[in-house]
Amino acid sequence: MAVNLPLPNKDELKPIKGLKLGIAEAGIKRANRKDVLVIRLVPGSSVSGVFTQNRFCAAPVQLCRAHLLERNPIEALIINTGNANAGTGNEGLRRAQQTCDALAHALGISAEQVLPFSTGVILEPLPVEKIITAIPKAITALKEDDWYAAAEAIMTTDTQPKAASLTIQTSTGPIVMTGISKGAGMIQPNMATMLGFIGTDLSIDVDLLQELTREATDLSFNAITIDGDTSTNDSFIVMATGQSPVRIQNKSDPSYSAFREGLISLSRQLAKMIVRDGEGATKFMTIRIKGGRNSAECKRIAKSIAHSPLVKTAFFASDPNLGRILAAIGYAYAVNMINRKIPNIPAIALNSWAMIITTLFYLPFALNSWPKQTPSVEAIASVAALGVFCTAIAFILFFKLLAEVGPPRASLITYLNTAVAVMLGVILLGEPITLGILLGLPLVLIGSYFASRKVRL
């Protein structure tokens, strides 16, 4: 039973001009069930896609990627449920190609203009004969206003169809968008075990559409999780038919921002439906992170909380244990949020004295400050060798310091230590200590590095 998720209203799912949907029953897993969907696009449509990051991506995913990378003018999609055609090797690729060939032949287009999708059981051969037999039925059933049935046709363990529509008003006319999605298990960021399809009637440059699809995915389907597993078949496709008077060729077009916001909004709506209908789900949680150093750190913390079994069990029991949330944040390695590091006064003083000692030992040789003593070649060579060695060490440790506390803190720590050492050195020696600074700076950096590691805010 889905968590507070009402069924889509068929009358509110708007048709998209230039896009038709056809459903058939192939009996892939069981009889009398919608399990094949064909989407037909008008020529000239723009199509973009984002796919699973699982290394064992399914055969249809591999074909989809190839067809899109070849920049073929996509005119049809075929989706089957009941069988994922994943982990099936070269034979799986051959069978996926057969479905493309059969649909292309029936529509009078090339196989490279077809994108195949499969979802269902992994490691079983695709019953391609059943799918090919169902293709004529799906083509005969093609129509623009069958989004609800299309959402039913892509379901696997989902308990209900997931679909939504959105109309955006722009200065050049309305933009209509309708989308469907499925997925109930193997759900986690990058992406989930899901299929998502959004159709829109505007005209847009395909490269710009691909960029927007990636952005919308990162802010929606890549921001959900149920069980922490990443599927082999994840695919999210956006199709623009170009049948609307609205035209978007670049980001400066007046309608760009409105379409971008609409695409992200509809993607999030479909993604949330997937979570609410997760396998065994009884709660729907939204995690918001504030005060992080950047979005990547915030995502890492949110993912850590969402994946914690202890956090999940606490919320399942309606007992939001804050200690478990704190622990999940702690092992997310959010250094800048909860583990900031600063030097302490004793460490600074120690670094300063180390620099002064170095100065006292080597300054007389370099500046010839001892009366009637000329620096020997060996003394000069030893000073030079030490300088080269200390400089190398200084570079290594300074970059470690940068990695630990970041450039602003690293610079502040170094300048603070150097300033204190110079001040004390001038007071004690009563003369410039330029060379001493050069020789003592590596020790300052060493002390700063260890101080930054051991002293915590």
Task: Please tell me which residue in 193, 200, 225, 232 is annotated as part of the active site.
Answer: 193
Please confirm, yes or no, whether 391 is among the known catalytic residues: no
First to last CA, the chain: 46
Contact 206, 247 (CB under 8 A): no
Whole-number Å distance between alpha carbons of 361 and 78: 80
Give per-residue burial for 152-187: e unless 16+ CB within 10 Å, then b.
Answer: bbbbbebebbbbbbbebebeeeebbbbbbbbbbbbb
Three-class secondary structure assignment of the chain: CCCCCCCCCHHHCCCCCCEEEEEECCCCCCCCCCCEEEEEECCCCEEEEEECCCCCCCHHHHHHHHHHHCCCCCCEEEEEEEECCCCCHHHHHHHHHHHHHHHHHHHCCCHHHEEEEEEEECCCCCCHHHHHHHHHHHHHCCECCCHHHHHHHCCCCCCCCEEEEEEEEECCEEEEEEEEEECCCCCCCCCCCCEEEEEECCEECHHHHHHHHHHHHHCCHHHCCCCCCCCCCCEEEEEECCCCCCEECCCCCCCHHHHHHHHHHHHHHHHHHHHHCCCCCCCCCCCCCCCCCCHHHHHHHHHHHHHCHHHHHHHHCCCCCHHHHHHHHHCCCCHHHHCCECCCHHHHHHHHHHHHHHHHHHHHHHHCCCCCCCCCHHHHHHHHHHHHHHHHHHHHHHHHHHHHHHHHHHHHHHHHHHHHHHHHHHHHHCCCCHHHHHHHHHHHHHHHHHHHHHCEC
- Catalytically active residues, by annotation: 193
